[in-house]
Structure formats: structure tokens, C-alpha cells
């Protein structure tokens, strides 16, 4: 599974460029050492219309004290062929970190809730939802093939720091993969939007009755549910994997760590001026419903649904990377600072073909923000406003509006003080 990083070739040309600028050695150091590996998740089996939503524990992952530089993923079959979204819709994948007591194991079928006991501690990202909601370090959905995840030098996500692992525990990683096989489906979009009427379920994954006004979402398309097929359709079951490619560098003091924040547009935490907020005050519902616009709006072509929330960012810093996550029907998302400035705007691109990575009607990529480090700053305690836009010519159920941010609390100022590039990093 290991191979010579392509970046090595690339970094040689950077080396030549950087040798002409003084004090740039940290750049070269970081670039030259990028490692890369391709892994497969455990196998999951899907027949036409079926759903797999599983948590795989102790997955293959870079080990040691390293800085993650990118994480890309896609669904492939046993021969390694990429599977298009109109056959297997990748609702989402999410990768999270946990500490596990040594000599204890978790099997792939243990429930997500297992992580909340004395042998396992789920380690959240830096915020800002509550408990076990949206804890991931990385996560995307149908857009995974076309969305850049690279973290620019000299930044990285620090993992595997032995000083942060409690005595008697080990750092482990899990991946949650939620995939829906829509081969032969009567209504492919409906299956991907988890419309309850197509799934013939009356209770959710935990056996709780589904409210009559709940039209669609994760409560109706949990593991082993079945979406409605065209009369008489039959197709083979097949074995699939999440294939993921991770890039990283060994940790060193020249790497500047970034924190991960994910803002959820359904978070309706009440902002108050004097309260000390903690994560438990957040109320992230993850999914929401987009009602269809009224007929007169349709004629006026004004069918845009906006959902908006404001949250406070306790600890600020410099935005290094930003990207939104939306479902089909999404037309973009923007994160604003307290003064109304745009922190990042991210828009989906839709495919227009048949092949994997370009499937017509599906979101196949999200645009990303890579502000020049130092140019976009969030101050401590700043109120951020997130807006998520959907085209509501048609109703959409179970949609999402997340915004993923990588924030550096410091800039690599000291490394560049004598360099011609220093102006990039000074406020
Ligand atoms: C997990 O569950 C699936 C189906 O429910 C079963 O086929 C598989 O053998 C189980 N795996 C383990 C490790 O228990
Ligand atoms: C829906 O579920 C019920 C009970 O689980 C079953 O009897 C019925 O045949 C199912 N209907 C369809 C269309 O699959
Ligand atoms: C919304 O979708 C409809 C139908 O697919 C399309 O005609 C319309 O232009 C879209 N509107 C926007 C704002 O994208």
C-alpha cells in the first residue's frame, strides 16, 4: 500500500525556487518529507436499494507523531473500480479519533455509542457542536472526489502526540461510512434524500417511533434499511470499500498546527452576551428540511431557500482552509464575520455525465477557500454567521449545511522574519 510520493518530484522544483529566497528552509523541509498511503476500509455489501451505515474501528491510519496534510476518499469495488454515485450514493464518510484502553478491542459492529465508556474516549475536533455530534477530523459526502483537502505548508493537523495520550491508552481512528445503493430505485434522488415514504420504516435505528411530520433524513435510511425499487428489478449484491488516501509529514517544530472547527447551520444555540458558553449549549441537528417554494415564487424564479445561524467562536485565529458541505439542491454557503466580511464562500459543482466523479445531477465537488495565511482572521469570541442556500423549486429532505474550517492560532512569523516573504505573515 505504500508508494513513492509524487510530491517528491514536485518538491524538487520548489526547492530550486526557494533556494533563491533566504531563510526558507522550513518550507523545503516540510515539502520534501510528504508521505502518502492508500488504505481500504473493511468491506461492506450492498444490493439494489440497500443501505449501509457502519462504524469501523481501529482503521489503518498513519501512526506516530505526524501532521496530516490531506485526506481523500471514494467508494470502489473489489477490483478497485470507482463506483459512480448513481449506483452507490455516498451519503457521507467521517473520520474521528479516539483513545482506547490498551488490550481492549472494539469490533466493526459495535455501536457508535460504545465510545462513551471508560475504555474508549471519543476525541472531538475543536468545535463547535455538542457531545458526539459532528466530532470528525475529516468528512465529506458525494463531493469527495472533486473537493480539495490539502493543507498548505507549513500548516498541518497534529496527531499522535504521545504527550496527549493518557497512560494506558492508545490513539485509534474510526470511520463511519454511510452509503445507499440506488441501482433500480424508483426514485434515486428520493432514496439519497432518505425520504421516509420510500423506506417503509416506522421506527428509527434505535427503535423510536418516527414522528408523522418527519418526511426524511437519517432516521429513515439507517443501516440495513431498504429503499423502494422499480417493480421486478433485480441486481447482484456487491462488495464495496471506502478507499482513502492520506498524506502526512513527520512532526517537527516548523509545522504550525491547525485546529478543526465545523459549524452546523442547524445549530440554534441562543447567543447571550454574558454567558460562558460550553459545547453542551450547542444544539446541532445536523439535518434539516427545505420546503418547496410557493407557485408564485417559481414563476418569479426566486426559489432560493436560506437557512442561517450565528455562533460564537470562542478561540479565534487565522483561517487556513474552508469548505462547506451540502446535499443535492445546494447552491452555496457563506460564512461571515461579525462585521459582515466574508470569511469563506463555498459553492457546489454538479456533474453532467455518467462516469464516477462527474455524475449528472449530483454534487461532485465543493469549492474551497485558501486565504493567504494571515489575511483572514477570526478574533476570540467573534460571532460568526453561516448561511446555507438551497434551490427549493423542489422540496428536499435530510439536507445539510456544514462549514468546515481549519484555523491556525499562530502564524509561522518567526520562521520567516528575515525572509522576503515576511510581509505575508505579519498583520
Ligand atoms: C457484522 O454484522 C454483519 C451483518 O449484520 C455480519 O455479516 C458480520 O459477520 C458482523 N461482523 C462481525 C465482526 O461481527
Ligand atoms: C413494509 O413493511 C411491512 C412490515 O415490515 C411489510 O409487511 C410490507 O410488505 C413492506 N412493504 C413494502 C412495500 O416493502
Ligand atoms: C433551481 O432549479 C430549477 C429546476 O431544476 C432551475 O430551473 C432553476 O434555475 C434553479 N434555480 C437556481 C437559483 O439555481
The closest residue, in CA terms, to atom 11 on ligand 3 is 391
- Where in the chain are the domains? 7-424
> Distance, CA 391 to ligand 3 centroid (Å)?
6
The answer, yes or no, to whether any atom of ligand 3 lies below 6 A from the CB of 304, is yes
Rounded CA-CA distance 240/88 in Å is: 9
pLDDT at 270: 65
Rounded CA-CA distance 16/27 in Å is: 12
Interior CA angle at 304 toward 302 and 305, to 5°?
Answer: 140
The DSSP symbol for 153 reads: T
> Distance, CA 105 to ligand 2 centroid (Å)?
37
Q: Which ligand is nearest to the CA of 225?
A: 2
The closest residue, in CA terms, to atom 5 on ligand 1 is 109
Pocket test for ligand 1, best of 53, 109, 114 (most atoms within 8 A of CB): 109
Rounded CA-CA distance 257/234 in Å is: 50
pLDDT at 411: 92
List C-alpha distances in Å: 115 to 159, 172, 278, 381. Answer: 19, 11, 21, 31
Q: Tell me the whole-structure pTM to 2 decimals.
A: 0.86
Rounded CA-CA distance 30/32 in Å is: 6
Any residues with Cβ below 6 Å from ligand 1, and which?
107-109
**From its phi and psi, is residue 301 left (phi > 0), alpha (psi between -120 and 50) or beta?**
left
Residue 336: strand pairing partners:
342, 385
The answer, yes or no, to whether any atom of ligand 3 lies below 6 A from the CB of 205, is no
> What residues of the chain score a pLDDT lower than 50?
1-30, 274, 278-280, 415-427
Other CB atoms within 10 Å distance of the CB of residue 110: 14
The closest residue, in CA terms, to atom 14 on ligand 1 is 109
Closest C-alpha to 27, from 156, 218, 125: 156
Cβ(378)–Cβ(291) below 8 Å: no
Rounded CA-CA distance 219/204 in Å is: 5
Rounded CA-CA distance 161/63 in Å is: 10
Can you tell me which atom of ligand 1 is nearest the CA of 224? 5
List C-alpha distances in Å: 52 to 180, 302, 320, 340. Answer: 7, 37, 34, 41
Rounded CA-CA distance 359/351 in Å is: 5
Closest C-alpha to 395, from 221, 229, 215: 215
Which string of DSSP letters, residue by residue, matches 226-258?
Answer: BPPBPTT-----EEEEEEEEEEEEE--TTPEEE
Q: In Å, how far from its chain's centre is CA 321?
A: 13
Q: In Å, how far from its chain's centre is CA 384?
A: 19
Can you tell me which atom of ligand 1 is nearest the CA of 107? 13
Closest C-alpha to 92, from 399, 361, 320: 399
> Distance, CA 351 to ligand 3 centroid (Å)?
15
> Distance, CA 106 to ligand 1 centroid (Å)?
13
The closest residue, in CA terms, to atom 4 on ligand 3 is 393
pLDDT at 107: 64
The 10s digit of each residue's pLDDT in 345-390 is 999 999 999 999 999 999 999 999 999 999 999 999 999 999 999 9
Amino acid at each position: 500500500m505504500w508508494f513513492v510520493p509524487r510530491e517528491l518530484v514536485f518538491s524538487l522544483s520548489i526547492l530550486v525556487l526557494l533556494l533563491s529566497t533566504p531563510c526558507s528552509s522550513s518550507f523545503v523541509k516540510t515539502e520534501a518529507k510528504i508521505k502518502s498511503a492508500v488504505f481500504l476500509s473493511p468491506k461492506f455489501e450492498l444490493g439494489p436499494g440497500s443501505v449501509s451505515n457502519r462504524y469501523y474501528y481501529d482503521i489503518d491510519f498513519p501512526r506516530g507523531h505526524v501532521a496530516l496534510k490531506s485526506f481523500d476518499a471514494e467508494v470502489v469495488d473489489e477490483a478497485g473500480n470507482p463506483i459512480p454515485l448513481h449506483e452507490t450514493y455516498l451519503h457521507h464518510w467521517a473520520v474521528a479519533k479516539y483513545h482506547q484502553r490498551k488490550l481492549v478491542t472494539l469490533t466493526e459492529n459495535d455501536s457508535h455509542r460504545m465510545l462513551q465508556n471508560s475504555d474508549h474516549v471519543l476525541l472531538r475536533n475543536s468545535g463547535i457542536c455538542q457531545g458526539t455530534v459532528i466530532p470528525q477530523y475529516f468528512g465529506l459526502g458525494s463531493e469527495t472526489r472533486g473537493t480539495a483537502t490539502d493543507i498548505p505548508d507549513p500548516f498541518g493537523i497534529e496527531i499522535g502526540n504521545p504527550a496527549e495520550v493518557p497512560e494506558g491508552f492508545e490513539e485509534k481512528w474510526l470511520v463511519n461510512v454511510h452509503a445507499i445503493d440506488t441501482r433500480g430505485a424508483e426514485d434515486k434522488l428520493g432514496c439519497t434524500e432518505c425520504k421516509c415514504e420510500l423506506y417503509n420504516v416506522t421506527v428509527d435505528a434505535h427503535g423510536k417511533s418516527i414522528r408523522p411530520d418527519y418526511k426524511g433524513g437519517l432516521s429513515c435510511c439507517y443501516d440495513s434499511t431498504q429503499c423502494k425499487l422499480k417493480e421486478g428489478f433485480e441486481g447482484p449484491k456487491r462488495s464495496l470499500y471506502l478507499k482513502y488516501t492520506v498524506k502526512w509529514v513527520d512532526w517537527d517544530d516548523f509545522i504550525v498546527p491547525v485546529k478543526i472547527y465545523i459549524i452546523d447551520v442547524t445549530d440554534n444555540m441562543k447567543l447571550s452576551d454574558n454567558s460562558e458558553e460550553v459545547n453542551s449549549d450547542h444544539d446541532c441537528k445536523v439535518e434539516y428540511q427545505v420546503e418547496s417554494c410557493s407557485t408564485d415564487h417559481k414563476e418569479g424564479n426566486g426559489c432560493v431557500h436560506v437557512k442561517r445561524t450565528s455562533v460564537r467562536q470562542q478561540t479565534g485565529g487565522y483561517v487556513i482552509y474552508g469548505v462547506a458541505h451540502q446535499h443535492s439542491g445546494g447552491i452555496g454557503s457563506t460564512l461571515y464575520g461579525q462585521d459582515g466580511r466574508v470569511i469563506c464562500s463555498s459553492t457546489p459543482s454538479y456533474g453532467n455525465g455518467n462516469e464516477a466523479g462527474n455524475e449528472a445531477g449530483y454534487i461532485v465537488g465543493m469549492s474551497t477557500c485558501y486565504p493567504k495565511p494571515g489575511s483572514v482572521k477570526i478574533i476570540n469570541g467573534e460571532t460568526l454567521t453561516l448561511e446555507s442556500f438551497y434551490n427549493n423549486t423542489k422540496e428536499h429532505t435530510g439536507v445539510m449545511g456544514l462549514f468546515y474550517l481549519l484555523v491556525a492560532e499562530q502564524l509561522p512569523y518567526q520562521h520567516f522574519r528575515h525572509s522576503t516573504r515576511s510581509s505575508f505573515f505579519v498583520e
